[in-house]
Chain A
Amino acid sequence: MQAVPPEPDMVQLLTPEGVRVEHPDYPLEITDDEIQSLYRDLVLVRRVDTEAIALQRQGELGLWASLLGQEGAQVGAGRALRPHDMAFPTYREHGVAWCRDVDPLVLLGLFRGTNLGGWDPADNNFNLYTIVIGAQTLHAAGYAMGIVRDGAVGTGDPDRDTAVLAFFGDGASSQGDVNESFVWAAAENLPIVYSCQNNQWAISAPVTTQSRVPIYHRAGGFGFPGVRIDGNDVLASLAVTRKALDQARAGLGPTLIEAYTYRMNPHTTSDDPTRYRLAAETETWKLKDPIARVRAYLTRHAHVGQDFFDAIDEESEQLAEHVRAGCRALPDPDPLSVFEHVHVELTDELREQRDAFAAYLDSFEEVPA
């Protein structure tokens, strides 16, 4: 089965060949230095992904959900956020995590199985990964309701006005929660931007299983604008998300952005895409790679020299080592820790279970190695 072909109305600011193009609605003033910085993000994020897959193959991670192919959509969206904005990811937004300065090692815990997430969303204004498909879009709407009640929208003060960026996939667009979130956002004019990472495949189901119309068209029925971008174009993602977030902070309400991209890898390391899609399709998308086009632009049009690319490669090696060594050093949790955070305070009945379990564990004799 083929995924639906791209629509001609995608916003694109950098072609797959690396040529800058203008869009009347989304002018982007950006320096070549800033594009170099985006290139660095893209390369490093892909390297984290590559290392995580390798760690899974070596048995160091139980599972990994690869973002390969979606770096442009994610980095563009992530770099459009201001520090006090809040992001609600799925479990694949490693590129957004990177832009929020979340150490990649923090993400590995739940894939290694040493915790279920464990980070504090307030540290980087990056919510915990959410595994139930689409559930986080309602959390994002609720958070935006809090922003409104805090008077942190439409004041004109850039340090105060706050927006929420909620991620979900093409599969999630069928979920009731996502549609309910749209209802809330529209009815209450919430400061929220939805980033639908349409990577064409919900495990084995193509996007035609989810929708008869392009996903961004759905927004119109709810009463707010929708726009489709070339999800492999980091500049389009940056420009469109930035404008939508500006509007949200100004009190102009929600926007749905459909980032039209492609999941180059299996759904997770446990998946086998040869059972449901043709290699030819993946090959076509290789030609639209989000990193190659930025490199082509930098080389041909910005005349960036080899030194820059060598330096990024060197940094990439160091990051890879940090991920490898850090992953292996993640401590196994104490069996008794399962009781610790069920409630704010341990209840008497859980204390009884914990003590009984501790006594049981202690009842085993130490066997010399």
Chain B
Amino acid sequence: MTTVTMAKALNEGLRKALDDDPKVIIMGEDVGKLGGVFRITDGLQKDFGEARVFDTPLAESGIIGTAVGLAIRGYRPVCEIQFDGFVFPGFDQIVNQVAKMHNRSTGKIRMPITIRIPFGGGIGAVEHHSESPEAYFAHTAGLKVVSCSNPSDAYWMIQQSIRSDDPVVFFEPKRRYWAKGELSDEPYPLHKARVVRPGREATVVAYGPLVATALEAADADGHDLEVIDLRSISPLDTATVIESVERTGRLVVVHEAAVSHGVGAELAARVQERAFYSLEAPVLRVGGFDTPYPASRLEEEWLPTVDRILDAVDRTLEY
């Protein structure tokens, strides 16, 4: 077993994907010589050449739109969007073209495109560099949306996403890029949630950057909490969550994105539809407020913390 940072794990995963399939190409702003602003593509252009790992003009719609054309020509593009808040100029191409081309062509064209987006806050950044736009993409038919929370998943999930014949929006928790972990020898199914800490009293579901926070909360609490890493936001592995809630009777969903109309809302709806009589308390959500992401001096208060998670756990246990 090797211990690496998530950044290195992603880099190794991309390297493996480039090695495995000559049609895989990596494209985006500053991904070449610089290796990306987070160095996720460090050294890949040097080893695989400028035809396969290349800097694009600075235009996100162009990055995604040309990836669509490359896919039609038989390539398997991996696009890097530099920061979460910069994906929106490419939103039209993602939602109207990447997501719909397979359906429009009655299955004759595939869009094996992976769109990597460093997301979430906690790094003291300026505006547009700390956002969590995953719900927009999860709301769009035709896209798959995943997020890794640890180096091992990062290594395997990026390869699985690139191998997927469906388009995948791949959210990387940027504040965990430097967290270290061991790489497992085997991948876990891409769209399956994982119970990362078994417990009996309440279920806490998180993904991406907040899995570590949820685990910390579970360790800090006197209660026996079960923590689930959702991993896949669309499709959503409802079964794993339901199975847990049927045992614990209580559910708290945690994400950085604003709670309204978010992943937590969807999960709460599904759980009450399918496990109504197992619930001992209403499903609670802990997330960002319905405000723009704040100036960085406020982000520690704004983001869900161990204490905010435990506050919600207390409320569900006291119900």
Seen from chain A, the residues whose Cβ lies within 8 Å of a Cβ on chain B are 115-122, 127-128, 130, 132, 135, 137-150, 176-177, 180-181, 183-184, 187, 340-344, 347-350
Contacts and interface: CB of A to CB of B under 8 A. Distances in A.
Nearest to B101: A128
8 contacts: A122-B108, A132-B92, A135-B97, A142-B68, A142-B73, A146-B70, A180-B59, A349-B236
Given A128-B109, A130-B97, A183-B57, 9 more contacts: A117-B105, A117-B106, A120-B109, A139-B69, A141-B65, A142-B65, A145-B73, A177-B61, A184-B66
Interface of B: 25, 51-52, 56-57, 59, 61-62, 64-75, 89, 92-93, 96-97, 100-110, 141-142, 144, 165-166, 191, 235-236, 238
Contact of B108 (A121, A183, A187): A121
B62 A183 contact: yes
A149 B65 contact: no
Given A146-B69, A146-B74, A128 B105 contact: yes
Contact of A343 (B69, B89, B109, B142): B142
Given A141-B65, A183-B57, A118 B104 contact: yes
Contacts of B51: 148-149
Given A146-B75, A147-B73, A138 B106 contact: no
A176 B62 CA distance: 9
A139 B107 CA distance: 18
Contacts of B62: 138, 141, 177, 180-181, 183-184
A139 B72 contact: yes
B57 A139 contact: no
Contact of B72 (A119, A121, A180, A342): A121
Chain A CB within 10 A, most for which of B66, B141, B236: B66
A149 B101 CA distance: 23
Contacts of B101: 128
Given A135-B97, A176-B61, A116 B103 contact: yes
Contact of A342 (B66, B141, B236): B141
Which 10 pairs of residues, A with B, have the shortest CB-CB distance? A142-B69, A138-B65, A146-B73, A142-B66, A180-B62, A143-B69, A120-B108, A139-B69, A341-B107, A344-B165
A118 B106 contact: yes
Contacts of A142: 65-73
Nearest to B71: A142
Contact of A180 (B57, B70, B102, B108): B57
B105 A120 contact: yes
A143 to B, nearest CB: 4
A310 B62 CA distance: 49
Given A120-B109, A347-B235, A349-B236, A341 B102 contact: yes
Contacts of A135: 65, 92-93, 96-97
Contacts of B109: 120-121, 128
A107 B142 CA distance: 23
A343 B106 contact: no
* Interface class of chain A by DSSP: helix
B124 to A, nearest CB: 31
Chain B CB within 10 A, most for which of A119, A141, A177, A187: A177
A128 B104 contact: yes
Contacts of B67: 142
B193 to A, nearest CB: 13
B57 A184 contact: yes
B246 to A, nearest CB: 18
B108 to A, nearest CB: 4
A276 to B, nearest CB: 27
Given A143-B73, A347-B235, A132 B105 contact: no
A128 to B, nearest CB: 6
A122 B73 CA distance: 9
Nearest to A350: B235
A132 B93 CA distance: 9
A177 B52 CA distance: 23
A143 B141 CA distance: 24
Contacts of B238: 349
Contacts of B73: 142-143, 145-147, 150
Contacts of A349: 235-236, 238
Chain A CB within 10 A, most for which of B67, B100, B105, B107: B105
Contacts of A341: 102-103, 105-107
Nearest to B144: A343
Contacts of B141: 342
Contact of A181 (B52, B65, B236): B65
A350 B65 CA distance: 27
Contacts of A146: 69-70, 72-75
A137 B66 CA distance: 9
A140 B166 contact: no
Given A135-B97, A177-B61, A180-B62, A144 B69 contact: yes
Nearest to B52: A149
A116 B104 contact: yes
A142 to B, nearest CB: 2
B166 A132 contact: no
Nearest to B66: A142
A337 B222 CA distance: 51
Chain A CB within 10 A, most for which of B51, B73, B74, B96: B73
Contacts of A177: 61-62, 65, 92-93
Contact of B69 (A115, A116, A117, A145): A145
Nearest to B106: A118
Contacts of B96: 132, 135
Contacts of B52: 149
Nearest to B62: A180
Contact of B105 (A119, A137, A140, A148): A119
A162 B163 CA distance: 28
A115 to B, nearest CB: 6
B235 A118 contact: no
